[in-house]
A = this chain, B = another copy of it.
Amino acid sequence: MTASHTIELTGASLIGADEIPGTRSPFQATDPATGAALEPIYHEADEAAVATAAELAWEAFGSYRHTSFEQRAAFLDTIAAELDDLGSVLIDRVHAETGIPAARVQGELARTTGQLRLFAAVVREGSWTGARLDTPNPDRTPLPRPDLRQRKVPLGPVAVFAASNFPLAFSVAGGDTASALAAGAPVIVKAHSAHPGTSELVGRAIRNAVRAHNLPEGTFSLVFGSGQTVGIALVTDPRIRAVGFTGSQQAGIALTAAAAARPVPIPVYAEMSSINPVFVLPGALADRAEELGSGFIASMTTGVGQLCTSPGLVFLVDAPGADRFVRAAAEAVRAATPAPMLYPGIAASFADGARRLATNENIDTVAVADTAPAQAGCSGVPQLFVTTGEQFLDDHQLQDEVFGPASVIVRVADVAQLTAIIDRLEGQLTATIQAAPTDHAHARVLVDRLELIAGRVLFNGWPTGVEVGHAIVHGGPFPATTAPSTTSVGSRAIERFLRPVAYQNVPEELLADELRTGNPLGIWRRIDGAVTQS
């Protein structure tokens, strides 16, 4: 544990510039590889701490939202630099708290800082503000045409709920935080209790950046605690104006209901559950059945199956090669090494879910990873099941996400049955098609239906691995998310925390730079509907 030696962790919530020790239940992180408790002891914050953070955030909002694009971008860049500076201290702590191998943590750190820098670039580029100017016409009859200008403004302070499975990229300085700060919104993060030390390290890094840029202290706070108390207190605080969440369907729906029941409801952008169906067409099976079978298991076991985009269902059209696909997948499962899951609770849930599949009479077990009994305790043991298209259509429970390294192969009679199945699928983050050129006529039918139920449609790859960029969508219809018209990854994520405002006949000197006639920021805008940079 180099981390606690190098940077002292206090176990306190970071409320603006203060450190406020929690007054409620104590908890500690656990090293999932050893079961050892990790120092220090954290305590859950109480409602008073949340209210203080919200008050500071509201105060900060008044000035933070007026920072220039450049100031905000520089702030995001500094957060990224602070995280880079933490380097191995951070990586070691993440590894200790989550069991994620160091190389993977390194990759996730790069993704996280890359994301912060992407949003810095987005803020600087400026078109996120959606500036539009409609030219006035004082001579129009019967009424003059007014001078109308539109830009987007931030909704207000944002509450971010960190996920367990990406302790950096979907946590304290993850995509929700980066995009909200980019939008001009102060952020209060509710840390995930499975990696509190990581959360505190990252929270301190953000706080350093707040100080370095002389931003108001309430621009960022970090609170520790459970969803029931801290989470509900955050979502129902009148000063919180939007919520970003990544986690379970149950928690996401509970927060959404709490937000909808407020006197003034607010949006909850919850990314929840997805079983990420894969469709393997005959031509692909004929060409590369074995490669697909083992590739599927490599994707299923990535991150010990604890990725939102982990493939939980594979539909195999009955065709030559289908048996070879199943054999190759079974072999890969048996050869897979069980690895520790993120924390004991998630391992227990997975064991339950896998047991439900194993005992479902509509399903057969194909393979389970070879493992010594001692290993099985906290580990995610990869396992693979099989059923038929008919049975799948009869048993809606087969669509329930089992979070961890387990999947069900569904052997489907033909493409007609496949389309019937797609029409019964719930909303998904991803849908994957494995197809040879000879499959394209069928693939076209699939794309046409899958784009209605998924946020991302992929060909000849695997859904795990979410590229951070401009064209990515990490979202999808309910229950994948509560807000299908958004994405939680990629540059478009900033849109979640903004709303448009029109300014009618407002004097030039009272307008924001992005709306001034001369376009002093040189950004892309719409003049009378036409895209222009002039």
Question: Which B residues are in CB contact (< 8 Å) with A134?
Answer: 467, 469-472
Minimum CB–CB distance from A96 to chain B (whole Å) comes to 24
B500 touches A444 (CB 8 A): no
B529 touches A150 (CB 8 A): no
A432 (CB) vs chain B CBs: closest residue: B504
Question: Which B residues are in CB contact (< 8 Å) with A454?
Answer: 501
B447 touches A150 (CB 8 A): no
Q: Does A24 contact B (CB under 8 A)?
A: no
A456 (CB) vs chain B CBs: closest residue: B502
Minimum CB–CB distance from A315 to chain B (whole Å) comes to 18
Q: Does A334 contact B (CB under 8 A)?
A: no
Question: Which B residues are in CB contact (< 8 Å) with A156?
Answer: 452
A492 touches B485 (CB 8 A): no
Q: B-facing mask of A110-146, CB < 8 A → 1, else 0? A: 0000000000011001010000111000000011011
Which residues of A516-534 are within 8 A (CB) of B?
A: 524, 526, 528-529, 531, 533
Q: Does A443 contact B (CB under 8 A)?
A: yes
A440 touches B510 (CB 8 A): yes
Q: A460-B505, A484-B155, A531-B524 are in contact. Are A510 and B469 (CB under 8 A)?
A: no
Copies in the complex: 2
Q: Does A267 contact B (CB under 8 A)?
A: yes
Tell me which of A48-56, A291-299, A324-332, A474-482 binds B.
Answer: A474-482
Q: B-facing mask of A371-390, CB < 8 A → 1, else 0? A: 00000000000000000000
Q: Does A455 contact B (CB under 8 A)?
A: yes
Q: A459-B506, A484-B155, A502-B455 are in contact. Are A471 and B149 (CB under 8 A)?
A: yes
Q: For the complex, give the distance between the alpha carbons of A526 and B469 in Å.
A: 11
A510 touches B478 (CB 8 A): no
Question: Which B residues are in CB contact (< 8 Å) with A473?
Answer: 150, 500-502
Q: A459-B504, A531-B524 are in contact. Are A264 and B153 (CB under 8 A)?
A: no
Q: Does A451 contact B (CB under 8 A)?
A: yes
A125 (CB) vs chain B CBs: closest residue: B529
Q: For the complex, give the distance between the alpha carbons of A451 and B121 in Å.
A: 26
A453 (CB) vs chain B CBs: closest residue: B501
Q: Does A101 contact B (CB under 8 A)?
A: no
Minimum CB–CB distance from A135 to chain B (whole Å) comes to 9
Q: For the complex, give the distance between the alpha carbons of A495 and B130 in Å.
A: 13
Minimum CB–CB distance from A103 to chain B (whole Å) comes to 9
Q: For the complex, give the distance between the alpha carbons of A34 and B182 in Å.
A: 58
Q: For the complex, give the distance between the alpha carbons of A86 and B382 in Å.
A: 68
Question: Which B residues are in CB contact (< 8 Å) with A98?
Answer: none
Which residues of A476-517 are within 8 A (CB) of B?
A: 477-479, 482, 484-487, 491-492, 495, 498-507, 509-510
Question: Which B residues are in CB contact (< 8 Å) with A492?
Answer: 150, 500
A131 (CB) vs chain B CBs: closest residue: B471
Q: Does A1 contact B (CB under 8 A)?
A: no
Which residues of A24-80 are within 8 A (CB) of B?
A: none
Q: For the complex, give the distance between the alpha carbons of A470 and B426 in Å.
A: 35
Q: For the complex, give the distance between the alpha carbons of A458 and B150 in Å.
A: 12
Question: Which B residues are in CB contact (< 8 Å) with A345?
Answer: none
Minimum CB–CB distance from A274 to chain B (whole Å) comes to 14
A459 touches B507 (CB 8 A): yes
Q: Does A265 contact B (CB under 8 A)?
A: yes
Question: Which B residues are in CB contact (< 8 Å) with A339?
Answer: none
The answer, among B456, B457, B467, B482, for a CB contact under 8 Å with A145, is: B467
B531 touches A531 (CB 8 A): yes
Q: Does A319 contact B (CB under 8 A)?
A: no
Q: A265-B478, A440-B510, A482-B265 are in contact. Are A153 and B504 (CB under 8 A)?
A: no
Q: Does A9 contact B (CB under 8 A)?
A: no
Q: For the complex, give the distance between the alpha carbons of A484 and B456 in Å.
A: 26
A507 touches B440 (CB 8 A): yes
Question: Which B residues are in CB contact (< 8 Å) with A149?
Answer: 471
Q: For the complex, give the distance between the alpha carbons of A514 and B487 in Å.
A: 20
A472 touches B510 (CB 8 A): no
A selection of 5 A-B contacts at a CB cut-off of 8 Å is A134-B470, A451-B501, A484-B499, A487-B500, A524-B531
A residues neighboring B (CB under 8 Å): 107, 121-122, 125, 127, 132-134, 142-143, 145-146, 148-150, 153, 155-156, 260, 264-265, 267, 426-427, 437, 440, 443-444, 447, 451-452, 454-461, 465, 467, 469-473, 475, 477-479, 482, 484-487, 491-492, 495, 498-507, 509-510, 524, 526, 528-529, 531, 533
Add 13 more A-B contacts to A440-B509, A485-B495 (CB < 8 A).
A132-B471, A134-B471, A146-B461, A149-B471, A150-B473, A153-B452, A264-B426, A264-B479, A267-B485, A440-B507, A470-B528, A473-B500, A475-B500
Across the A-B interface, give the 9 residue pairs with the lowest CB-CB distance, nearest first.
A458-B504, A473-B502, A148-B471, A132-B471, A134-B471, A150-B471, A456-B502, A470-B529, A485-B499
